[in-house]
Amino acid sequence: MKKKLLSILLTTAMAAALLSGCGEAAPAPAAEAPAAEDASAEAEAEAPAAAAEAGSNSLTVWAWDANFNIPALKAAEADYKENVDADFTLNIVEQSQSSDIENAITLAGSSGDYSQLPDIVLFQDHYIQRYVADYPDAWIDVEDSGTDWSDFGAEKLSYSTIGGKHYGFPVDNGTCIMAYRVDLLEEAGYTIDDMTDCTWEKFIEVGEKVYEKTGKYLLSMDGDGNDLFYLMLQAEGMSQFKDGKPYITENETLVQIVNIIKEMCEKNVCYLANDWGDYTDQTIMGDMVAGVMNGNWIIPTIRQVAENSGKWEITNMPTIKGGGGYAANGGSSLYVTSNSKNPELAKKFLAATFGGSSQTYDNALRDGGVVTCCISAGKSDVYNEGVEYFNNTPVYAQIVEMSGHVPVIEQNDFHYSCRRYLAAAMININNGADVMEELKNAEDQLNFEMEGAAQ
Protein backbone atom coordinates (compact mmCIF):
# COMPACT_ATOMS: atom_id res chain seq x y z
CA MET A 1 0.00 0.00 0.00
CA LYS A 2 2.56 2.50 1.15
CA LYS A 3 4.88 1.25 -1.50
CA LYS A 4 2.42 1.95 -4.22
CA LEU A 5 1.74 5.39 -2.98
CA LEU A 6 5.43 5.93 -2.91
CA SER A 7 5.79 4.66 -6.43
CA ILE A 8 3.15 7.04 -7.69
CA LEU A 9 4.75 9.89 -5.84
CA LEU A 10 8.09 8.95 -7.23
CA THR A 11 6.80 8.72 -10.75
CA THR A 12 5.10 12.05 -10.45
CA ALA A 13 8.20 13.55 -8.98
CA MET A 14 10.37 12.22 -11.78
CA ALA A 15 7.93 13.27 -14.42
CA ALA A 16 7.65 16.66 -12.83
CA ALA A 17 11.38 17.01 -12.43
CA LEU A 18 11.48 17.98 -16.03
CA LEU A 19 8.83 20.61 -15.74
CA SER A 20 9.83 21.89 -12.35
CA GLY A 21 13.35 22.21 -13.64
CA CYS A 22 11.90 24.44 -16.29
CA GLY A 23 9.85 26.37 -13.80
CA GLU A 24 12.83 27.24 -11.69
CA ALA A 25 14.73 28.32 -14.69
CA ALA A 26 12.06 30.65 -15.95
CA PRO A 27 12.70 33.66 -13.76
CA ALA A 28 16.48 33.40 -13.89
CA PRO A 29 17.74 31.46 -16.85
CA ALA A 30 21.34 32.18 -16.03
CA ALA A 31 21.08 30.81 -12.54
CA GLU A 32 19.84 27.40 -13.57
CA ALA A 33 22.71 25.06 -14.22
CA PRO A 34 22.23 21.32 -13.74
CA ALA A 35 25.53 19.58 -13.41
CA ALA A 36 25.50 17.99 -16.82
CA GLU A 37 24.97 21.21 -18.72
CA ASP A 38 28.11 23.16 -18.16
CA ALA A 39 28.36 24.32 -21.71
CA SER A 40 24.81 25.53 -21.88
CA ALA A 41 25.22 27.23 -18.57
CA GLU A 42 28.17 29.07 -19.98
CA ALA A 43 26.12 29.94 -22.97
CA GLU A 44 23.33 31.26 -20.84
CA ALA A 45 25.72 33.35 -18.92
CA GLU A 46 26.56 35.22 -22.04
CA ALA A 47 23.40 37.16 -22.72
CA PRO A 48 23.13 38.49 -19.19
CA ALA A 49 26.86 39.10 -19.28
CA ALA A 50 26.38 41.58 -22.07
CA ALA A 51 23.89 43.35 -19.86
CA ALA A 52 26.04 43.17 -16.76
CA GLU A 53 28.93 44.73 -18.54
CA ALA A 54 26.90 47.69 -19.71
CA GLY A 55 29.04 50.73 -19.32
CA SER A 56 32.16 48.68 -19.69
CA ASN A 57 33.92 48.23 -22.97
CA SER A 58 32.65 45.18 -24.71
CA LEU A 59 30.26 44.87 -27.63
CA THR A 60 28.66 41.90 -29.34
CA VAL A 61 28.17 41.76 -33.07
CA TRP A 62 26.52 39.21 -35.36
CA ALA A 63 27.99 38.75 -38.80
CA TRP A 64 28.47 36.11 -41.46
CA ASP A 65 31.31 34.98 -43.72
CA ALA A 66 34.51 34.04 -41.94
CA ASN A 67 36.63 34.92 -44.94
CA PHE A 68 35.16 38.30 -45.66
CA ASN A 69 33.11 40.30 -43.14
CA ILE A 70 34.62 38.79 -40.04
CA PRO A 71 38.22 39.74 -40.82
CA ALA A 72 36.92 43.27 -41.44
CA LEU A 73 35.32 43.33 -37.99
CA LYS A 74 38.49 41.99 -36.45
CA ALA A 75 40.43 44.75 -38.16
CA ALA A 76 38.04 47.29 -36.69
CA GLU A 77 38.42 45.79 -33.22
CA ALA A 78 42.21 45.94 -33.43
CA ASP A 79 42.05 49.51 -34.70
CA TYR A 80 39.81 50.62 -31.83
CA LYS A 81 41.94 48.79 -29.28
CA GLU A 82 45.08 50.39 -30.52
CA ASN A 83 43.84 53.92 -30.94
CA VAL A 84 40.94 54.44 -28.56
CA ASP A 85 40.60 51.94 -25.75
CA ALA A 86 43.07 49.16 -25.07
CA ASP A 87 40.54 47.25 -22.95
CA PHE A 88 37.89 47.11 -25.63
CA THR A 89 36.67 43.71 -26.79
CA LEU A 90 34.43 42.86 -29.71
CA ASN A 91 32.57 39.61 -29.35
CA ILE A 92 31.89 38.39 -32.89
CA VAL A 93 29.18 35.72 -33.26
CA GLU A 94 29.41 34.05 -36.62
CA GLN A 95 26.19 33.30 -38.48
CA SER A 96 25.99 30.98 -41.44
CA GLN A 97 24.38 33.52 -43.72
CA SER A 98 22.64 36.84 -43.86
CA SER A 99 19.23 35.24 -43.49
CA ASP A 100 20.13 33.98 -40.01
CA ILE A 101 20.20 37.57 -38.83
CA GLU A 102 17.06 38.45 -40.76
CA ASN A 103 15.28 35.51 -39.12
CA ALA A 104 16.50 36.52 -35.68
CA ILE A 105 15.09 40.03 -36.18
CA THR A 106 11.83 38.57 -37.50
CA LEU A 107 11.54 36.26 -34.50
CA ALA A 108 12.42 39.00 -32.05
CA GLY A 109 9.95 41.39 -33.66
CA SER A 110 7.19 38.78 -33.85
CA SER A 111 7.52 37.72 -30.25
CA GLY A 112 8.25 41.19 -28.93
CA ASP A 113 11.36 39.85 -27.24
CA TYR A 114 14.41 41.73 -28.42
CA SER A 115 16.55 40.63 -25.49
CA GLN A 116 18.60 38.14 -27.49
CA LEU A 117 19.80 40.62 -30.06
CA PRO A 118 23.41 41.74 -29.88
CA ASP A 119 24.60 45.35 -29.85
CA ILE A 120 25.37 45.42 -33.55
CA VAL A 121 24.26 43.33 -36.51
CA LEU A 122 25.49 43.12 -40.05
CA PHE A 123 22.53 43.38 -42.40
CA GLN A 124 21.96 43.02 -46.11
CA ASP A 125 21.43 46.33 -47.84
CA HIS A 126 18.47 45.26 -49.95
CA TYR A 127 16.46 44.13 -46.94
CA ILE A 128 17.12 46.75 -44.30
CA GLN A 129 14.44 49.22 -45.38
CA ARG A 130 11.74 46.64 -44.99
CA TYR A 131 13.03 45.48 -41.62
CA VAL A 132 13.20 48.99 -40.26
CA ALA A 133 9.65 49.60 -41.47
CA ASP A 134 8.28 46.31 -40.09
CA TYR A 135 10.20 46.22 -36.83
CA PRO A 136 10.97 49.83 -35.98
CA ASP A 137 11.57 48.91 -32.34
CA ALA A 138 14.55 46.79 -33.22
CA TRP A 139 16.82 49.60 -34.32
CA ILE A 140 18.29 52.91 -33.28
CA ASP A 141 19.55 55.52 -35.69
CA VAL A 142 23.16 56.66 -35.73
CA GLU A 143 22.57 60.32 -36.62
CA ASP A 144 24.51 61.60 -33.62
CA SER A 145 27.59 59.45 -34.18
CA GLY A 146 29.53 62.32 -35.69
CA THR A 147 30.31 60.62 -38.97
CA ASP A 148 31.02 62.53 -42.16
CA TRP A 149 28.51 60.85 -44.43
CA SER A 150 29.52 62.89 -47.48
CA ASP A 151 32.64 60.74 -47.59
CA PHE A 152 30.58 57.72 -48.72
CA GLY A 153 29.14 56.80 -52.12
CA ALA A 154 25.54 58.00 -52.54
CA GLU A 155 24.31 54.68 -53.92
CA LYS A 156 25.54 52.75 -50.88
CA LEU A 157 24.06 55.23 -48.42
CA SER A 158 20.70 55.15 -50.17
CA TYR A 159 20.04 51.78 -48.54
CA SER A 160 20.90 52.57 -44.94
CA THR A 161 19.21 55.98 -44.89
CA ILE A 162 15.60 55.52 -43.85
CA GLY A 163 13.17 58.37 -43.38
CA GLY A 164 16.07 60.77 -43.83
CA LYS A 165 17.99 59.26 -40.94
CA HIS A 166 21.20 57.28 -41.08
CA TYR A 167 20.86 53.85 -39.51
CA GLY A 168 23.87 51.96 -40.76
CA PHE A 169 27.60 52.05 -41.28
CA PRO A 170 28.55 50.71 -44.70
CA VAL A 171 30.98 47.80 -44.59
CA ASP A 172 31.71 46.33 -47.95
CA ASN A 173 31.44 47.98 -51.25
CA GLY A 174 29.42 45.99 -53.75
CA THR A 175 30.71 47.87 -56.78
CA CYS A 176 30.69 45.65 -59.80
CA ILE A 177 33.92 44.74 -61.52
CA MET A 178 34.31 43.26 -64.97
CA ALA A 179 37.45 41.15 -64.76
CA TYR A 180 39.06 39.67 -67.85
CA ARG A 181 41.79 37.12 -68.44
CA VAL A 182 44.08 39.34 -70.44
CA ASP A 183 46.09 36.40 -71.78
CA LEU A 184 42.99 34.78 -73.22
CA LEU A 185 41.75 38.05 -74.71
CA GLU A 186 45.11 38.38 -76.38
CA GLU A 187 44.86 34.88 -77.82
CA ALA A 188 41.58 35.94 -79.41
CA GLY A 189 43.16 39.14 -80.68
CA TYR A 190 41.89 41.72 -78.17
CA THR A 191 43.15 43.80 -75.28
CA ILE A 192 41.55 45.03 -72.09
CA ASP A 193 41.26 48.48 -73.67
CA ASP A 194 38.98 47.05 -76.33
CA MET A 195 36.67 45.94 -73.55
CA THR A 196 36.61 49.16 -71.54
CA ASP A 197 33.48 51.20 -72.32
CA CYS A 198 32.38 48.60 -74.89
CA THR A 199 28.84 47.64 -75.94
CA TRP A 200 27.21 44.29 -75.30
CA GLU A 201 27.28 43.74 -79.03
CA LYS A 202 31.04 44.05 -79.05
CA PHE A 203 31.21 41.89 -75.93
CA ILE A 204 29.36 39.11 -77.71
CA GLU A 205 31.64 39.39 -80.72
CA VAL A 206 34.72 39.09 -78.52
CA GLY A 207 33.11 36.35 -76.47
CA GLU A 208 32.47 34.19 -79.52
CA LYS A 209 36.10 34.53 -80.59
CA VAL A 210 37.37 33.76 -77.11
CA TYR A 211 35.22 30.64 -76.89
CA GLU A 212 36.32 29.54 -80.33
CA LYS A 213 40.02 30.06 -79.59
CA THR A 214 40.22 29.01 -75.94
CA GLY A 215 37.05 27.09 -75.11
CA LYS A 216 36.34 29.44 -72.21
CA TYR A 217 33.24 31.52 -71.60
CA LEU A 218 33.71 35.26 -71.40
CA LEU A 219 31.08 35.45 -68.69
CA SER A 220 29.41 33.20 -66.16
CA MET A 221 26.71 33.89 -63.64
CA ASP A 222 24.58 32.21 -61.02
CA GLY A 223 21.48 31.35 -63.01
CA ASP A 224 19.44 30.81 -59.89
CA GLY A 225 19.88 34.15 -58.18
CA ASN A 226 20.43 35.97 -61.40
CA ASP A 227 22.48 38.95 -60.51
CA LEU A 228 22.96 39.45 -64.22
CA PHE A 229 19.69 41.28 -64.97
CA TYR A 230 20.04 43.53 -62.04
CA LEU A 231 23.61 44.52 -62.84
CA MET A 232 22.92 45.08 -66.53
CA LEU A 233 19.83 47.12 -65.73
CA GLN A 234 21.56 49.23 -63.14
CA ALA A 235 24.39 49.93 -65.54
CA GLU A 236 21.70 51.43 -67.80
CA GLY A 237 20.40 53.45 -64.84
CA MET A 238 17.17 51.45 -64.78
CA SER A 239 15.34 49.43 -62.14
CA GLN A 240 13.04 46.39 -62.14
CA PHE A 241 10.58 48.59 -60.26
CA LYS A 242 8.84 51.82 -61.09
CA ASP A 243 6.79 53.79 -58.57
CA GLY A 244 6.79 50.81 -56.22
CA LYS A 245 5.39 48.43 -58.83
CA PRO A 246 7.10 45.72 -60.87
CA TYR A 247 8.40 47.18 -64.09
CA ILE A 248 9.09 44.16 -66.26
CA THR A 249 7.04 43.55 -69.40
CA GLU A 250 6.72 47.24 -70.18
CA ASN A 251 10.35 47.88 -69.46
CA GLU A 252 11.89 47.83 -72.93
CA THR A 253 15.44 47.97 -71.61
CA LEU A 254 14.78 44.88 -69.50
CA VAL A 255 13.30 43.01 -72.46
CA GLN A 256 16.33 44.00 -74.52
CA ILE A 257 18.64 42.74 -71.78
CA VAL A 258 16.81 39.43 -71.60
CA ASN A 259 17.34 39.02 -75.31
CA ILE A 260 21.03 39.88 -74.98
CA ILE A 261 21.44 37.27 -72.26
CA LYS A 262 19.61 34.73 -74.40
CA GLU A 263 21.92 35.48 -77.30
CA MET A 264 24.99 35.23 -75.07
CA CYS A 265 23.91 31.85 -73.78
CA GLU A 266 23.19 30.55 -77.26
CA LYS A 267 26.54 31.70 -78.58
CA ASN A 268 28.53 30.24 -75.68
CA VAL A 269 29.54 33.67 -74.51
CA CYS A 270 27.80 33.33 -71.19
CA TYR A 271 27.40 30.27 -68.98
CA LEU A 272 24.58 30.24 -66.44
CA ALA A 273 25.46 28.02 -63.49
CA ASN A 274 22.82 26.18 -61.50
CA ASP A 275 23.40 27.93 -58.26
CA TRP A 276 25.83 29.98 -56.30
CA GLY A 277 28.13 27.09 -55.41
CA ASP A 278 28.27 25.96 -59.01
CA TYR A 279 29.02 29.48 -60.11
CA THR A 280 31.98 29.99 -57.80
CA ASP A 281 33.32 26.45 -57.69
CA GLN A 282 32.74 25.11 -61.16
CA THR A 283 32.92 28.15 -63.37
CA ILE A 284 35.42 30.39 -61.56
CA MET A 285 37.55 28.05 -59.50
CA GLY A 286 37.08 25.34 -62.10
CA ASP A 287 38.74 27.67 -64.60
CA MET A 288 35.91 27.67 -67.14
CA VAL A 289 35.81 31.39 -67.76
CA ALA A 290 37.82 34.21 -69.32
CA GLY A 291 35.77 36.90 -67.63
CA VAL A 292 33.98 37.49 -64.33
CA MET A 293 31.43 40.20 -63.68
CA ASN A 294 30.08 40.70 -60.18
CA GLY A 295 30.42 42.68 -56.98
CA ASN A 296 34.09 43.10 -56.14
CA TRP A 297 33.71 40.67 -53.26
CA ILE A 298 34.08 38.00 -55.93
CA ILE A 299 37.83 38.78 -56.09
CA PRO A 300 38.87 36.35 -53.32
CA THR A 301 37.13 33.59 -55.29
CA ILE A 302 38.97 34.49 -58.48
CA ARG A 303 42.24 34.49 -56.56
CA GLN A 304 41.70 30.92 -55.37
CA VAL A 305 43.13 29.70 -58.67
CA ALA A 306 46.78 30.42 -57.93
CA GLU A 307 48.12 29.42 -61.32
CA ASN A 308 46.29 32.26 -63.05
CA SER A 309 48.06 34.95 -61.05
CA GLY A 310 49.03 37.96 -63.12
CA LYS A 311 46.66 37.09 -65.94
CA TRP A 312 43.64 39.07 -64.77
CA GLU A 313 42.77 42.77 -65.04
CA ILE A 314 39.60 44.68 -64.33
CA THR A 315 37.60 47.40 -66.00
CA ASN A 316 34.03 48.71 -66.16
CA MET A 317 30.96 46.88 -67.51
CA PRO A 318 29.66 46.86 -71.06
CA THR A 319 26.36 48.66 -71.71
CA ILE A 320 23.80 48.56 -74.51
CA LYS A 321 25.01 51.76 -76.11
CA GLY A 322 28.59 51.65 -74.83
CA GLY A 323 30.34 54.20 -72.70
CA GLY A 324 31.06 52.32 -69.50
CA GLY A 325 28.58 50.77 -67.11
CA TYR A 326 28.67 50.89 -63.33
CA ALA A 327 26.59 48.86 -60.93
CA ALA A 328 26.71 47.41 -57.45
CA ASN A 329 25.65 44.03 -56.19
CA GLY A 330 25.13 42.67 -52.72
CA GLY A 331 26.84 44.38 -49.86
CA SER A 332 25.83 44.97 -46.30
CA SER A 333 26.11 47.48 -43.48
CA LEU A 334 26.37 47.44 -39.70
CA TYR A 335 23.35 48.50 -37.62
CA VAL A 336 22.94 49.19 -33.91
CA THR A 337 20.01 47.36 -32.32
CA SER A 338 17.67 48.69 -29.68
CA ASN A 339 18.80 45.92 -27.36
CA SER A 340 22.28 47.36 -27.11
CA LYS A 341 23.02 48.08 -23.47
CA ASN A 342 25.63 50.54 -24.52
CA PRO A 343 24.48 52.24 -27.72
CA GLU A 344 26.85 55.16 -27.20
CA LEU A 345 29.84 52.84 -27.23
CA ALA A 346 28.45 51.02 -30.25
CA LYS A 347 28.09 54.24 -32.19
CA LYS A 348 31.44 55.51 -31.04
CA PHE A 349 33.13 52.26 -32.05
CA LEU A 350 31.52 52.22 -35.49
CA ALA A 351 32.22 55.89 -36.14
CA ALA A 352 35.85 55.48 -35.14
CA THR A 353 36.36 52.48 -37.41
CA PHE A 354 33.97 51.97 -40.33
CA GLY A 355 33.15 55.66 -40.17
CA GLY A 356 36.35 56.43 -42.02
CA SER A 357 39.43 54.97 -40.37
CA SER A 358 42.10 54.10 -42.92
CA GLN A 359 43.64 51.62 -40.52
CA THR A 360 40.43 49.60 -40.28
CA TYR A 361 39.85 49.65 -43.99
CA ASP A 362 43.45 48.87 -44.92
CA ASN A 363 43.46 45.78 -42.72
CA ALA A 364 39.97 44.77 -43.78
CA LEU A 365 41.19 44.82 -47.34
CA ARG A 366 44.38 42.94 -46.58
CA ASP A 367 42.77 40.22 -44.45
CA GLY A 368 39.36 39.85 -45.99
CA GLY A 369 39.43 41.57 -49.35
CA VAL A 370 36.72 43.96 -48.12
CA VAL A 371 36.76 47.11 -50.22
CA THR A 372 35.77 50.32 -48.47
CA CYS A 373 32.80 52.48 -49.32
CA CYS A 374 34.59 55.41 -47.78
CA ILE A 375 36.12 57.49 -50.51
CA SER A 376 38.93 59.07 -48.49
CA ALA A 377 39.92 55.73 -46.97
CA GLY A 378 40.25 54.42 -50.50
CA LYS A 379 43.07 56.81 -51.17
CA SER A 380 45.53 55.19 -48.79
CA ASP A 381 48.78 53.58 -49.92
CA VAL A 382 47.42 50.12 -49.39
CA TYR A 383 44.68 50.83 -51.90
CA ASN A 384 47.07 52.23 -54.43
CA GLU A 385 49.48 49.32 -54.34
CA GLY A 386 49.58 47.24 -57.49
CA VAL A 387 48.06 43.80 -56.94
CA GLU A 388 50.23 41.03 -58.28
CA TYR A 389 47.34 38.75 -59.08
CA PHE A 390 45.85 41.44 -61.29
CA ASN A 391 48.98 42.06 -63.32
CA ASN A 392 50.18 44.63 -60.77
CA THR A 393 47.33 47.02 -61.47
CA PRO A 394 45.90 48.91 -58.45
CA VAL A 395 42.50 47.24 -58.68
CA TYR A 396 41.25 48.38 -55.30
CA ALA A 397 41.80 52.05 -56.00
CA GLN A 398 40.10 51.41 -59.35
CA ILE A 399 37.08 49.93 -57.58
CA VAL A 400 36.76 52.79 -55.12
CA GLU A 401 36.93 55.18 -58.06
CA MET A 402 34.26 53.24 -59.95
CA SER A 403 31.99 53.16 -56.89
CA GLY A 404 31.46 56.90 -57.27
CA HIS A 405 29.81 56.33 -60.66
CA VAL A 406 27.18 53.80 -59.62
CA PRO A 407 23.75 55.26 -60.37
CA VAL A 408 21.08 55.35 -57.65
CA ILE A 409 18.02 53.46 -58.89
CA GLU A 410 14.62 52.71 -57.44
CA GLN A 411 14.83 50.04 -54.75
CA ASN A 412 12.13 47.77 -53.46
CA ASP A 413 11.63 45.34 -50.59
CA PHE A 414 10.82 42.69 -53.15
CA HIS A 415 14.16 43.08 -54.85
CA TYR A 416 15.28 39.49 -54.34
CA SER A 417 11.83 38.05 -55.05
CA CYS A 418 11.85 39.85 -58.35
CA ARG A 419 15.29 38.55 -59.14
CA ARG A 420 14.23 35.02 -58.36
CA TYR A 421 11.19 35.16 -60.60
CA LEU A 422 13.20 36.70 -63.40
CA ALA A 423 15.87 34.05 -62.99
CA ALA A 424 13.25 31.33 -63.29
CA ALA A 425 11.90 33.04 -66.40
CA MET A 426 15.40 33.23 -67.87
CA ILE A 427 15.97 29.51 -67.35
CA ASN A 428 12.72 28.75 -69.14
CA ILE A 429 13.55 31.21 -71.92
CA ASN A 430 16.91 29.56 -72.44
CA ASN A 431 15.09 26.26 -72.64
CA GLY A 432 13.02 27.63 -75.49
CA ALA A 433 10.04 29.35 -73.87
CA ASP A 434 8.60 32.57 -75.25
CA VAL A 435 10.30 35.69 -73.86
CA MET A 436 7.24 37.87 -73.30
CA GLU A 437 5.15 35.05 -71.93
CA GLU A 438 7.76 34.13 -69.36
CA LEU A 439 8.30 37.74 -68.33
CA LYS A 440 4.54 38.11 -67.94
CA ASN A 441 4.50 35.04 -65.68
CA ALA A 442 7.30 36.47 -63.59
CA GLU A 443 5.50 39.79 -63.31
CA ASP A 444 2.23 38.11 -62.34
CA GLN A 445 3.88 36.01 -59.67
CA LEU A 446 5.68 39.03 -58.26
CA ASN A 447 2.47 41.07 -58.20
CA PHE A 448 0.78 38.14 -56.50
CA GLU A 449 3.41 38.02 -53.80
CA MET A 450 3.41 41.78 -53.26
CA GLU A 451 -0.37 41.82 -53.03
CA GLY A 452 -0.25 39.12 -50.40
CA ALA A 453 2.13 41.06 -48.21
CA ALA A 454 0.32 44.34 -48.70
CA GLN A 455 -3.15 43.25 -47.65
Partner 1 sequence: MIKKNRSMVQRRLIPTYIFLGIVSFLSVFPLYWMATAATNSTVEVARGKIIFGTQLANNMQKLLASQDLWGAMTNSFIYALAQTIVALFVCSLAGFGFELYHDKQKDRLFGILLLSMMVPGVATMIPLFKMMSTFGFLNTVWGFMLPAISTAFLIMMFRQNSRSFPVDIMEAARIDGVSEFGIYWRMYLPVMKATYAAAAVITFMNAWNAYLWPRVVMTSKDAQTMPMLIANLAAGYSVDYGVLMLGVLFCSVPTMVIFFILQKQFAEGITGAVK
Partner 2 sequence: MNKRHKGIQAKQERAGWIYLMPATILLVVMSFYPIIQAFITSFRTGPSSRMKWASPLIWNYTRMFQDKLFIRSVSNTFLYLLIQVPIMLVLAMVLAQMLNDKDLKFKGFFRTCVFLPCATSLVSYSLIFKSLFATQGLMNHILTGLGILKENYNFLGTPGSAKAVIIIALLWRWTGYNMVFYLAGLQGIEYSVYEAAKIDGANSWQTFWDITVPLLRPTIIMTFIMSINGTLQLFDESVNLTSGGPANSTITMSHYIYNNSFGQGVANFGYASAMSFFVFVLVAVLAFINLKVGDTRD
CB-facing half-sphere around the CA of 285: CA atoms within 13 A? 11
3-state class (DSSP) for residue 341: coil
Asked if residue 448 binds partner 2 (CB under 8 A), the reply is: yes
3-state class (DSSP) for residue 292: strand
Separation between Cα atoms, residue 384 and residue 58, nearest integer Å: 34
Outline where DSSP puts E strands in 113-211: 120-124, 161-162, 165-166, 168-170, 176-181
Which CB, 134 or 385, lies closer to partner 2? Answer: 134
Q: How many residues does the chain have?
A: 455
Separation between Cα atoms, residue 320 and residue 322, nearest integer Å: 6
Asked if residue 116 binds partner 2 (CB under 8 A), the reply is: no
Q: What is the Cα gyration radius of the chain?
A: 25
Return the residue of 44, 79, 102, 236 that touches partner 2, per CB under 8 A: 102
Asked if residue 417 binds partner 2 (CB under 8 A), the reply is: yes
Asked if residue 452 binds partner 1 (CB under 8 A), the reply is: no
Distances (CA, A) of 24 to 21, 31, 119: 5, 9, 28
Asked if residue 26 binds partner 1 (CB under 8 A), the reply is: yes
Asked if residue 8 binds partner 2 (CB under 8 A), the reply is: yes
Return the residue of 51, 54, 83, 115 that touches partner 1, per CB under 8 A: 115
Return the residue of 20, 67, 191, 259 that touches partner 1, per CB under 8 A: 67
Return the residue of 67, 83, 99, 309 that touches partner 2, per CB under 8 A: 99
**Among partner 1, partner 2, none, residue 310 binds (CB under 5-8 Å by kind):** none
CB of 17 to partner 1, least distance (A): 9
**Among partner 2, partner 1, none, residue 253 binds (CB under 5-8 Å by kind):** none
Asked if residue 197 lies in contact with residue 142, where contact means CB atoms within 8 angstroms, the answer is no
**Among partner 1, partner 2, none, residue 38 binds (CB under 5-8 Å by kind):** partner 1
Asked if residue 441 lies in contact with residue 427, where contact means CB atoms within 8 angstroms, the answer is no
Contacts 24+ apart (CB under 8 A), 207-212: 207/264, 207/267, 207/268, 207/269, 207/270, 207/291, 208/267, 208/268, 208/269, 210/184, 210/185, 210/290, 211/267, 211/268, 211/269, 212/188
At 246, phi and psi to the nearest 5? -55, 140
Asked if residue 427 binds partner 2 (CB under 8 A), the reply is: yes
Asked if residue 38 binds partner 1 (CB under 8 A), the reply is: yes
Asked if residue 447 binds partner 2 (CB under 8 A), the reply is: no
Give the binding range for partner 1 (CB under 8 A) out of 22-30, 79-87, 319-327, 406-414.
22-30
How many residues contact partner 1, by CB under 8 A? 61
Asked if residue 297 binds partner 1 (CB under 8 A), the reply is: yes
Return the residue of 16, 52, 54, 100 that touches partner 1, per CB under 8 A: 100
3-state class (DSSP) for residue 144: helix
Asked if residue 309 binds partner 1 (CB under 8 A), the reply is: no
> Which residues fall within 8 angstroms of residue 385, CB to CB, at 6 or more apart?
394, 396
328: exposed, middle or buried (Cβ count in 10 Å: 0-12, 13-18, 19+): buried
Asked if residue 47 binds partner 1 (CB under 8 A), the reply is: yes
CB of 46 to partner 1, least distance (A): 5
At what angle are helices 252-266 and 415-430 packed, to 10 degrees? 50
The residues of the shown chain that bind partner 1, judged by CB under 8 A, are 3-4, 6-8, 10-11, 14-15, 18, 21-22, 25-29, 32, 36-40, 42-44, 46-47, 64-68, 91-97, 100, 103-104, 107, 110-111, 113, 115-116, 277, 280-282, 285-286, 297-298, 300-301, 304-305
Residue numbers at the binding site for partner 2 (CB under 8 A): 4, 7-8, 11-12, 15-16, 18-19, 99, 102-103, 106, 109-110, 112, 124, 126-127, 130-131, 134-135, 137, 223-224, 272-275, 277-278, 281-282, 286, 288, 413-417, 420, 423-425, 427-428, 441, 444-445, 448-449, 452-453, 455
